[in-house]
Amino acid sequence: MRNQPTILAMGGGGFTMEPDNPALDDYILSLTDGPEPRVLFLPTASGDPTAQITSFYGRFGRMCSATHLSLFRRHGSARSLADIVLEQDVLYVGGGSMRNLLAIWTAHGLDELLVEAWRRGIVLVGLSAGAMCWFQGGITRSGGPPEVINGMGMLPGSFSVHADGEPERLPVWLAAVRSGELPGGWAADDGVALQFAGTKMVKVVTSRPGTAALRVDAVAGQLVRHRIEPVLLGTGVSKSPIDQPVSDDIRELRDLRYGMRRN
């Protein structure tokens, strides 16, 4: 029996960013039923690189029925995309260029299949571009500097990734939310994942201590910010950032990220 529509959107992390930390990938498998879930990896955003595909099998090959789909190497395939996609339990989308990702999916009709998969209760998972794509919009670096990009709109709101790893995205995202170019939404540090049941955000988890998510909305032209403490995987409890001395530059970045003044 299928679950309700589920999306896990990761700011960063998983096997491509944390080869020695399986916490997020283990959590993904916990969202499925059955002893041997079927997991399909979609490395489209990075051009189906061999190294990324190999890393996927290294992490998932012994834990589940793992396969990948290369849209760049479809010649000679006897099976339709619908047959491949709709038989899965998890569809895992890798990071890379969101602009290229959406263009290629649309050209193959995969975007519509992914919506159908979600409606059927197949778990959708992704990091970076593979996480932003489900939302109304986000901040991409596909063309170099951070810029606004529209997503598929399956989830309401916007999403900005790598909040701690690539903080240059945040000012662009905040300005877009303030101006109304993007709807309010979330920003997530690397290792942080937002879980959605249907279109409702129900849980935030992380593989890394000291990380967080941020909810931002524009109200009467002003930004309203709310820091979300995630559950640290493996502990079952939320964790506050580790207190340690920081430089003025880092403190200023944190003020920008979370809208808080620290003395």
Q: Known catalytic residues?
A: 128, 162
Query: By three-state DSSP, how is residue 38 classified?
Result: strand
Please return the burial class of 145, using the count of CB atoms within 10 Å of its CB with bins 0-12, 13-18 and 19+.
Answer: exposed
Strand (E) or helix (H) holding 252: helix 248-258
Query: By three-state DSSP, how is residue 194 classified?
Result: strand
* Those residues with Cβ within 8 angstroms of residue 63's Cβ, 6 or more apart along the chain or in another chain: 29
Which residue, 174, 177, 163, 108, is CA-closest to 131? 163
Which residue, 34, 31, 136, 38, is CA-closest to 84? 38
Report the alpha-carbon distance of residue 13 to residue 193 in Å, rounded.
Answer: 9
CA quadruple 232, 241, 163, 94: dihedral, nearest 10: -20
Please return the burial class of 186, using the count of CB atoms within 10 Å of its CB with bins 0-12, 13-18 and 19+.
Answer: buried
DSSP state, residue 58: H
| Radius of gyration of the CA atoms of the chain, in A | 18
Report the alpha-carbon distance of residue 17 to residue 55 in Å, rounded.
Answer: 10
Which residue, 66, 26, 73, 18, is CA-closest to 49? 73
